[in-house]
Amino acid sequence: MAGRLEGKVALITGAASGIGEGTAKRFAEEGASIVVADLQAEAGAAVAASLGNSARSIACNVTKEDEVAAAVDLAVSAFGKLDIMVNNAGIVGAVGPIADTTAEAWHNTIAILLDGVFYGMKHAARVMRPQGSGSILSLSSTAGVMGGLGPHAYTAAKHGVVGLTKSVGSELSRYGIRVNAVSPGNTVTAMTAGVITGDPDDTAGATETIASGAPLGIAGEPIDIANALLYLASDEARYVTGHTLVVDSGQTTGTLEPTDFHFQDADVMREAGKRGIQD
């Protein structure tokens, strides 16, 4: 039986770890050729190598338009087309009270979480429009559909992803291109483990904490988000565009206590426990 993405080509940013890595593996299982695009070049190459001959990797800083464009061009040169673009790369970004958030930290966060999505949509559209088909997917967050669930810059950027998804989805529908987003709730990755436990390697502790606060009593895993993205990427979702699918154990259906991101010392939280403005 053919896979759900058999014959399709997918480019995934931030695919060296976490949700991006889980999505790359899930899409490959369903028959897609994969381009792994990540700032972590060595880790990205290792993920691509694990997927076999139908995968490529490229170093990609999503705040730089030319690097996102190069990743798209690699997909086309290596595999002849681009069917699926997944704008996944992200960080927690600027944390702390609004009065103490620096402009530099704010702009750095927006550059990664929103500008990077814009570049991905733009250059995916560049090659998908002549094809007359394609699926562009972006990662928002529960902080993109509610306030109080994430830091200020992160929340603004993730709300922006939802709005951009609707706007670009409206434009590109006439070309047969679908544009959708997924808003994950707390999901067990090294980045969330670093936020929750202070140790990016303590995924077990993060799993326990997330499960304890989830209405369904289980912790979200990268595979849960990957499966949502798989549905939206596949032909099963051929009638779905401009939509944001929330995958959060039902957390946003009720009243939640705000997180404490706004009460931490002002800083920028990056991947796997790293801090400071990205070079």
Name the phi and psi angles at 133, rounded to 5.
-165, 165
> Quick check: is 2 in a domain?
no
Name the phi and psi angles at 138, rounded to 5.
-135, 150
Instruction: Catalogue the active-site residues.
Output: 154
> Quick check: is 1 in a domain?
no
pLDDT recorded at residue 2: 76
Q: What are 200-228's pLDDT values in tens digits?
A: 889 999 999 989 889 899 999 999 999 99
> Quick check: is 44 in a domain?
yes
> Quick check: is 70 in a domain?
yes
- Residue 161: domain span: 9-273
pLDDT recorded at residue 7: 97
pLDDT recorded at residue 115: 98
> Quick check: is 279 in a domain?
no
Domain of residue 204, CATH code: 3.40.50.720
pLDDT recorded at residue 257: 59
pLDDT recorded at residue 78: 98
> Quick check: is 241 in a domain?
yes
Neighbours of 242 (CB within 10 A): 18
User: What's the structural domain count of the chain?
Assistant: 1
Q: What are 177-191's pLDDT values in tens digits?
A: 999 999 999 998 888
Residues of the chain with pLDDT under 70: 1, 255-273, 278-279
> Quick check: is 3 in a domain?
no
> Quick check: is 53 in a domain?
yes
pLDDT recorded at residue 160: 98
Q: What are 97-121's pLDDT values in tens digits?
A: 999 999 999 999 999 999 999 999 9
pTM: 0.90
The candidate with the shortest Cα–Cα distance to 8, out of 88, 81, 71, is 81
pLDDT recorded at residue 259: 62
